[in-house]
């Protein structure tokens, strides 16, 4: 049986008209959505015996959420050094140089993918070292992903010389290009960890293979200072002067950006990953997301790595978006919940240039979708589905997850992957990580 019907659900489609279909049903054939209807329709779909049927028990069926920026394997380090100043250079880079190898990247990615799936994430965008290990994990576990190999100007876990990531990236891209779930990419870490000629080289490589570039941009105060002092430019102006910003560029954070920077980003069609939890916990500032959204820019949500954001689901980020931007703008009417759900789904797909494939529940799109159950105590009463998703839900309300037509989470449990085995693999590294961390 290749046809799947999900019925008895309230469908938050996130299509162009933001339609909600109460008491609806969806039909999935192979990897795609082929029909969306409502229960009061009387047609062959409701009487056919051809389907494998899932009863949604009155839950909310929404598009799979998209985590537009993370470093999944860093889950191995979660809960270390949350409150340390200058953490990236003083703590994280040294820790990574000692601890990160292929095994950690693979095991960490596997565990992180479990957490993302269980939290309703059906696509993630990742950048890290040994990115081929992340791709293997994602492919084996059947989650959709945009994966970029990191390039930096120093010796890194997978680079005995600076910029070796460029070579790794080309091999990686050639290996995965054309895969139905994995989009390979190249990820120069940040402007300040790459020389300009190497950024241009990375860009050429991306264009040669027609893949995305992923980069942290305008995230750090010292980054802002460096480009002001050395070039009298913002980081965005600097990257634009190199000619490397275009619609295949995915910029993470973009906190310190001026209105002129927004003009550039908008004109070039840059995709934006807003990391509200990481930006706030790291005391990095508030990105002008209200302006980005009003301009209709390609804007999604990301968790950042689990040392920065701690959890990998997007539901938790949604609530934070509302709270932090309402507060920062001293206006409770900003970002009504519907706009936040947009960022978490179709907005993220647009940022990653995969909105033709995923991000909404529409006929013709791949079947990436999630049921949020409404039986738990926190999900009642519901007068507004968007409000319930943004301000009441938590990742434990994710009941069912389908990626590319395949059911991966059912009754809140992974059904294809063995969480206990993957967890035990991750925990094998814990003692050594703890010991190393004490020396930092």
Compare residues 82 and 180 and give the one whose CB is closer to its own copies.
82
Compare residues 361 and 389 and give the one whose CB is closer to its own copies.
389
Q: State in Å, rounded, how far the first CA of the chain is from the last one.
A: 55
Coil vs helix vs strand at 344: helix
Q: Which of 106, 111, 129, 172 forms a contact with its own copies (CB under 8 A)? A: 111
Residues that contact its own copies, how many (by CB under 8 A): 68
Query: Does 99 interact with its own copies (rule: CB under 8 A)?
Result: no
Interface of this chain with its own copies, residues 337 to 366, rule: CB under 8 A: 337
Interface of this chain with its own copies, residues 371 to 430, rule: CB under 8 A: 376-378, 380-384, 387-388, 391-392, 394-396, 419, 423, 426-427, 430
Q: Are 33 and 362 in contact (CB under 8 A)?
A: yes
Q: Which listed range, 46-54, 111-119, 143-151, 158-166, lies at the site for its own copies (CB under 8 A)?
A: 111-119
Query: Does 253 interact with its own copies (rule: CB under 8 A)?
Result: no
What's the min distance (Å) between Cβ of 406 and its own copies?
19
Q: Which of 331, 415, 418, 432 forms a contact with its own copies (CB under 8 A)? A: 331
Query: Does 323 interact with its own copies (rule: CB under 8 A)?
Result: yes
Map tokens 């102006």 to a residue: 237
Map tokens 């027609």 to a residue: 210
Compare residues 4 and 75 and give the one whose CB is closer to its own copies.
75
* Residues 6+ away with beta carbon under 8 Å from 64: 120, 121, 122, 123, 144, 345, 358, 368, 369, 370, 401, 402, 403
Q: Which of 285, 290, 425, 436 forms a contact with its own copies (CB under 8 A)? A: 285
Query: Does 153 interact with its own copies (rule: CB under 8 A)?
Result: no
Q: In the numeric block, which tokens belong to residue 74?
A: 């860093």
Compare residues 4 and 388 and give the one whose CB is closer to its own copies.
388
Give the CA angle between residues 328, 330, 332 to the nearest 5°: 110
Q: In the numeric block, which tokens belong to residue 376?
A: 């738990």
Query: Does 440 interact with its own copies (rule: CB under 8 A)?
Result: no
Coil vs helix vs strand at 340: helix
Coil vs helix vs strand at 182: strand
Q: Which of 82, 180, 247, 418 forms a contact with its own copies (CB under 8 A)? A: 82
Phi-psi region of 32 (alpha: psi -120 to 50; beta: other; left: phi over 0): beta
DSSP state of 358: S
What's the min distance (Å) between Cβ of 107 and its own copies?
11
Distance CA 293, CA 302 (A): 15
Distance, CA of 190 to chain centre: 18
Beta bridge partners of 435: none
Compare residues 121 and 245 and give the one whose CB is closer to its own copies.
121
Map tokens 């990247």 to a residue: 105
Query: Does 437 interact with its own copies (rule: CB under 8 A)?
Result: yes
Q: Are 40 and 417 in contact (CB under 8 A)?
A: no
What's the min distance (Å) between Cβ of 302 and its own copies?
15
Contact residues: its own copies, CB under 8 A: 75-80, 82-85, 87, 111, 114-115, 118-119, 277, 279-286, 310-311, 313, 316, 319-320, 322-324, 326-327, 329-337, 376-378, 380-384, 387-388, 391-392, 394-396, 419, 423, 426-427, 430, 433-434, 437
């Amino acid at each position: 049986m290749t046809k799947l019907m999900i019925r008895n659900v309230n469908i938050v489609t996130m299509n162009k008209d933001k339609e909600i279909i109460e008491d609806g049903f969806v039909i999935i054939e192979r990897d795609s959505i082929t029909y969306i209807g409502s229960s009061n329709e009387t047609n062959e779909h409701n009487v056919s015996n051809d389907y494998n049927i899932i009863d949604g028990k009155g839950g909310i069926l929404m598009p799979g959420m998209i985590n537009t920026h993370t470093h999944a394997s860093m889950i191995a380090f979660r809960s270390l050094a949350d409150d340390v100043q200058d953490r990236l250079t003083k703590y994280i880079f040294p820790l990574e140089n000692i601890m990160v190898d292929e095994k950690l990247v693979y095991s960490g990615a596997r565990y992180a993918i479990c957490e993302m799936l269980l939290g309703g994430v059906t696509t993630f965008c990742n950048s890290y070292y040994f990115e081929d290990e992340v791709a293997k994990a994602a492919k084996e576990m059947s989650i959709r992903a945009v994966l970029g190999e990191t390039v930096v100007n120093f010796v890194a876990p997978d680079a005995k010389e600076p910029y070796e990531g460029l070579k790794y990236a080309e091999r990686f891209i050639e290996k995965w290009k054309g895969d139905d779930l994995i989009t390979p990419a190249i990820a120069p870490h940040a402007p300040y960890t790459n020389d300009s000629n190497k950024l241009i080289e990375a860009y050429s490589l991306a264009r040669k293979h027609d893949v995305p570039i992923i980069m942290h941009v305008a995230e750090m105060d010292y980054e802002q200072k460096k480009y002001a002092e050395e070039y009298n430019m913002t980081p965005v102006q600097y990257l634009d002067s190199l000619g490397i910003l275009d619609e295949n560029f995915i910029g993470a954070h973009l906190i310190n950006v001026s209105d002129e920077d927004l003009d550039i980003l908008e004109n070039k069609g840059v995709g934006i990953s807003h990391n509200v939890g990481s930006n706030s916990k790291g005391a990095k500032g508030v990105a002008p997301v209200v302006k980005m959204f009003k301009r209709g820019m390609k804007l999604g949500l990301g968790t950042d790595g689990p040392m920065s954001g701690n959890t990998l689901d997007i539901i938790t980020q949604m609530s934070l978006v509302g709270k932090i931007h309402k507060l920062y703008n001293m206006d409770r009417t900003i970002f009504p919940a519907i706009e936040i759900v947009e960022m978490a789904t179709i907005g993220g797909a647009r940022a990653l240039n995969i909105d033709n494939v995923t991000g909404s529940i529409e006929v013709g799109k791949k079947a990436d979708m999630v049921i949020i159950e409404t039986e738990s105590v926190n999900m009642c009463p519901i007068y507004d589905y968007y409000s319930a998703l943004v301000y009441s839900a938590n990742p434990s309300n994710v009941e069912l997850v389908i990626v590319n037509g395949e059911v991966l989470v059912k009754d809140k449990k992974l059904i294809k992957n063995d969480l206990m085995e993957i967890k035990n693999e991750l925990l094998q590294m814990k003692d050594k990580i703890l010991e190393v961390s004490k020396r930092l």
